[in-house]
A and B are shown apart, each in its own frame.
Chain A
Amino acid sequence: MIRQELLLDFTSRFHADILDLEDKSNTRVYVNITPESIVRIGTYLFRNIGARFNIATATDLPPKIEILYHFIVEDINLLISLRVFLDREKPEIESLAKDIEAFNWIEREMSELLGITFIGHPDPRRLLLADNWPEGVYPLRQDYEEWDETADRTRGV
């Protein structure tokens, strides 16, 4: 399948869920979709198109939290990034890790670093943060403040 066909098929199949499509360059496409459709579209890309899941990246952009799910279709060298915006007060989205193993760790990571709830995640434990890290403190939020009075952060910063 060539690039134009794939994008045409993709946009017509999910036209109700796609809010905006940015054709940035030959190898990069950013698609803004509704959060409700992420499992449908993500699974379609992964299972039907045969795209490999690169990773997801979440960014805190008050008043929203943005998640980008990066998929690469290697046959045509096209990186498709699905963009969803979540409400920063109550960031919740359906988990893709239920069906696809590759999403497991990154959803755990985003959940502890930005406080996003992945509904239906099979193993919602912490991945990286220490045991004495307080609940509800998310280090990648823009308004993150130092909570540990004993921490020494003077070196190298």
Chain B
Amino acid sequence: MGKTIIPIGPYHPLQEEPEFFTLTVEGETVVDIDMRMGYNHRGIEKLSEMKTFENSTFVVERICGICSTSHPFAYTRAVEDIFPMEVSMRAKYIRTIIAEGERIHSHLLWLGLAGHFLGYNTVYMWAWKLREEILDVMEILSGNRQAYAMFKPGGVRRDIRSEDIPICLKKIDSIVPTLVMLKKAVLDDPVLHARLKGVGIMSYQEAIDFSALGPTSRASGVARDVRKDSPYGAYQEMEWDMIVTKNGDVFDKAVVRILESFESIKILKYCLNNLPDGEIDAKIMDVPPGEGIGHIEAPRGETFHYVKSDGTNRPLRHKVRAPTFMNLPTYKATIQGETISDATIILAAIDPCYCCTERIAVKDGKGRMLYNGKDLIQLSREKTEKIKKRMGGR
């Protein structure tokens, strides 16, 4: 940190974002966990107060490099809630397309990294290869692989050209067989079952008490999804299923994410096939005084934005709540009593940033450092190898 301290902002789980965990262990068992963060505190809430309503969209887009659309989506809905107003149907469909494309690539990214931590580098390579196809689709639609800059209060900034749609549909169809294969490879693998089932369990009641969100809570049987409960965008236009499992362990969190990717493909294809005609931008001029709330289902859970306007062209207050703010404290419930070799995958299971795992330090009772992040990943892989050998050298 040193000299470039930025006073305030949202905490958000970027990839490669620094956080510091301290695990207290007794032998192999984790007895306590403490976390420190704020190393990447950029002051975006304060910064947003100095920008106009339209410019803030671009600021919040830069909160996260993975779910770069979830923040502008929630923010523009918050601004529109001040009026309150609805955007045009075509704008809703375009927003949904961008948001779902992002969900697919975010879940694939997680799957790849989870495989990497467990020593399944084939999963890692396959998942990231598929992710490239989705990023290509996003590039065709928006002109960029990340930070699509499609959103603005009142609508979207760019239209989707009708000649691009068949190309995108073809690309999306082409990844489905490989995704099915990947799903089978992960979900039918006896080693992964042995490795991940019963690890890092979060009960239904704990998910409620921590107000956990997204796939983290749906894996514990909490059938909640902002897309179903508070419909926005075009999600109520088509049939799709909410994926809920009940065991709450790391395996179920993986199942939810993999199956959700298929639902997202369904939604994405429906939206591209049935894109209605119409205006894409309501061209709002002045934002009246008042307050608005926008919340949407990001890949990791509900993203929540609150905007207060005093009638000028800048927000008086802009609050950003990223899903990991609620999901991260659940470590306290999931990690205690588990072994050190499971710590990395439990910490990774809520899909936070992975840099955090490199920042874990394991201390013994006297405060000496025992392992660093690299050792922990190694321990995790060794455990997978042991299980493999025990199960007959697969």
Q: Is the CB of B47 within 8 A of A59?
A: no
Q: Bound state CA distance, A59 and B307, in angstroms?
A: 11
A18 interface residue per 8 A CB criterion: no
Q: Is the CB of A152 within 8 A of B319?
A: no
Q: Is the CB of B230 within 8 A of A72?
A: yes
Q: A100-B209, A101-B329, A150-B3 are in contact. Are A54 and B8 (CB under 8 A)?
A: no
Q: Is the CB of A102 within 8 A of B211?
A: yes
Q: Bound state CA distance, A133 and B6, in angstroms?
A: 10
Nearest CB in chain A to that of B231: its residue: A77
Q: Is the CB of A151 within 8 A of B329?
A: no
Residues of A within 8 A of B9 (CB): 128
Interface string of B298-324 (1 = CB under 8 A from A): 000010101010000000110101000
* One of B4, B11, B43, B293 near A152 (C-beta < 8 A): B4
B92 to chain A, nearest CB (A): 16
A157 interface residue per 8 A CB criterion: yes
Q: Is the CB of B84 within 8 A of A25?
A: yes
B360 to chain A, nearest CB (A): 19
B21 interface residue per 8 A CB criterion: no
Residues of A within 8 A of B208 (CB): 52
Q: Is the CB of B209 within 8 A of A102?
A: yes
Residues of B within 8 A of A25 (CB): 81, 84
Nearest CB in chain B to that of A131: its residue: B1
B224 interface residue per 8 A CB criterion: yes
Q: Bound state CA distance, A70 and B176, in angstroms?
A: 39
Q: Is the CB of A101 within 8 A of B5?
A: no
Q: A105-B325, A128-B37 are in contact. Are A140 and B45 (CB under 8 A)?
A: yes
Chain A residues within 8 Å of B, Cβ to Cβ: 24-25, 27-28, 30, 52-55, 57, 59, 68, 70, 72, 74-75, 77, 79, 81, 100-102, 104-106, 113, 126-130, 132-133, 139-140, 144, 148, 150-152, 157
Chain B residues within 8 Å of A, Cβ to Cβ: 1, 3-5, 7-9, 11, 37-38, 41, 43, 45-47, 50, 81, 84, 208-211, 224, 229-231, 291, 293, 295, 302, 304, 306, 308, 316-317, 319, 321, 325-326, 328-329, 332
